[in-house]
């Protein structure tokens, strides 16, 4: 978090309030959107492999369920906080509303470093955390999914733990599961693939062809690597990628398929050491990230963590289009600088909705016990994302505002409509 933003959650609320003001939303709804409906903090013990016991802290936050069951991923990260979890939950409320799928917003997290834990330790931590949050989650109330630091296997443990407590299998309690236990085809790459759908639509607005367009990707995890892969297949020239340990740059374009094979094999999960390019930032990962954000390119995909583009470096961004693959990679102050400089930013609540859309498909398939082919899933995802982009674009043009404000306005309008229709109980 940077000095310019005291709270990640407050930053999201400020965007919501700005949208409420433009829409003349009543104070009652604005105040409700400025708070999370439920916040659970749990401190729980986990037995480590060496026999010691450690206490871990976890969260599960539901921001809003006005439009349907709460939906949101679970993050395992050493620096995650309750404030960050609340912000991510609020962003999920906005995302699901922009996508116009019948969900609200939630998020979960555990303060831990999964890279320093064995599989057995991760399983014990996950099963205990799942038990702690079981008072909130469920296929009709709150459906978790993978996020930073978690994966399909962790979702499988959560599904199994929840099912054992109920006495029968309940696949629909989580999404992003392995295919063997009810996962959906196309889910693993859905967010990154969706970023490509949005990039293509954004490029059309800028009269730019993706064929030969230069791309830089910050973060080569699930989202960033999939975005790089699909953008390359569209004819883009991916010139640089970074991850937490290193970077690789090639002005002529990286062989993304070869890079993926290297990362998944000899690279041990990272890009450092790949021979198809050179390291940036003199081999320093932090400097490489800063250098990547300032690279002259057509499309920049920040797909790492929050607050990467700030007031301190926004003026250095030379990309024509920014497609936010991560959640909250741009601070409000930086967003204004980019807009003033003519950078076309597609915000996270529109750019990375591909994951939650296919999570919704997985949930529907689990409930119906009927599964779709990947081609059908990809087609449905593309149509929903195209509709969402078109609706946001229309608001942006009508209101003469940036795509972030327009997306937030669309989301707030839909959530407020649900709140108004439902009323207040009792």
CB 414 within 8 A of CB 391: no
Cα separation, 113 vs 129, in Å, equals: 15
C-alpha closest to that of 199 among 400, 354, 402: 354
Q: What is the DSSP string of 166-233?
A: HTS--GGG-SS--GGGTPPTT-TTHHHHHHHHHHHHHHHHTT--STT-EEEEE--SHHHHHHHHHHHH
Query: CB burial class (10 A; 0-12, 13-18, 19+) of residue 91?
Result: buried
**Distance from CA of residue 417 to its chain's centroid?**
25
CB 105 within 8 A of CB 91: yes
C-alpha closest to that of 162 among 144, 176, 185, 178: 144
336 in active site: no
CB 196 within 8 A of CB 230: yes
CB 122 within 8 A of CB 114: yes
Q: What is the DSSP string of 287-328?
A: HHHHHHHTS--SEEEE-S-SS-B-TTTGGG---SEEE--SSS
Q: Which of 107, 185, 229, 320 is catalytic?
A: 107
Q: Please report which helix (H) or strand (E) contains residue 249, including its range.
A: strand 247-249
To the nearest 10 degrees (0 to 180), the angle between helices 8-23 and 332-340 is: 60
C-alpha closest to that of 220 among 246, 242, 239: 242
Q: What is the DSSP string of 121-167?
A: HHHHHHHHHHHHHTTT-BTTTEEEEE-TT--HHHHHHHHHHHHHHHT
Query: CB burial class (10 A; 0-12, 13-18, 19+) of residue 207?
Result: exposed
Catalytic annotation, residues: 107
């Amino acid at each position: 978090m940077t000095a310019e933003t005291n709270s990640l959650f407050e930053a999201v609320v400020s965007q919501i309030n700005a949208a409420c003001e433009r829409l003349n939303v009543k104070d009652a709804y604005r105040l409700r959107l400025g708070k999370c409906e439920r916040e659970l903090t749990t401190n729980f013990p986990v037995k480590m492999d060496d026999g010691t016991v450690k206490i871990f802290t976890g969260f599960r936050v539901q921001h809003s369920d006005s439009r349907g069951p709460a939906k949101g991923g679970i993050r395992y990260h050493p620096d995650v906080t309750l404030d960050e979890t609340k912000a991510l939950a609020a962003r999920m409320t906005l995302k699901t509303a922009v996508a116009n799928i019948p969900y609200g917003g939630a998020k979960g997290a555990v303060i831990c470093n999964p890279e320093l834990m064995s599989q057995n330790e991760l399983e014990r931590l996950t099963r205990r955390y799942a038990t702690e949050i079981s008072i909130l989650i469920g296929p009709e109330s709150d459906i978790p999914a993978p996020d930073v630091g978690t994966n399909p296997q962790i979702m499988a443990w959560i599904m199994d733990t929840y099912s054992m407590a109920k006495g029968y299998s309940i696949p629909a309690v989580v999404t992003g599961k392995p295919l063997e236990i009810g996962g959906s085809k196309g889910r693993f790459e859905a967010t990154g693939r969706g970023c490509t759908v949005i990039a293509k639509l954004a490029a059309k607005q800028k009269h730019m062809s993706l064929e030969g367009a230069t791309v830089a990707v910050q973060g080569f995890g699930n989202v960033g690597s999939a975005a790089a892969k699909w953008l390359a297949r569209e004819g883009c020239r991916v010139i640089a990628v970074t991850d937490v340990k290193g970077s690789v740059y090639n002005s002529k374009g990286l062989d993304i398929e070869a890079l993926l094979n290297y990362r998944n094999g000899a690279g041990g999960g990272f890009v450092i050491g790949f021979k198809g390019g050179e390291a940036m930032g003199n081999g320093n990962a932090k400097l490489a990230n800063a250098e990547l954000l300032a690279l002259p390119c057509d499309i920049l995909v920040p797909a790492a963590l929050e607050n990467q583009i700030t007031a301190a470096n926004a003026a250095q961004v030379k990309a024509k289009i920014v497609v936010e693959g991560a959640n909250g990679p741009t601070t409000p102050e930086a967003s204004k600088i980019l807009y003033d400089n003519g950078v076309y930013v597609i915000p996270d609540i529109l750019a990375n909705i591909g994951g939650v859309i296919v999570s919704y498909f997985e949930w529907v398939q689990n409930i119906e016990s009927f599964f779709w082919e990947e081609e059908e899933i990809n087609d449905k995802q593309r149509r929903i994302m195209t509709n969402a982009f078109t609706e946001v674009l229309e608001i942006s043009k009508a209101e003469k505002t940036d795509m972030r404000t327009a997306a937030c306005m669309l989301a707030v309008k839909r959530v407020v409509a649900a709140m108004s229709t439902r009323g207040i109980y009792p």
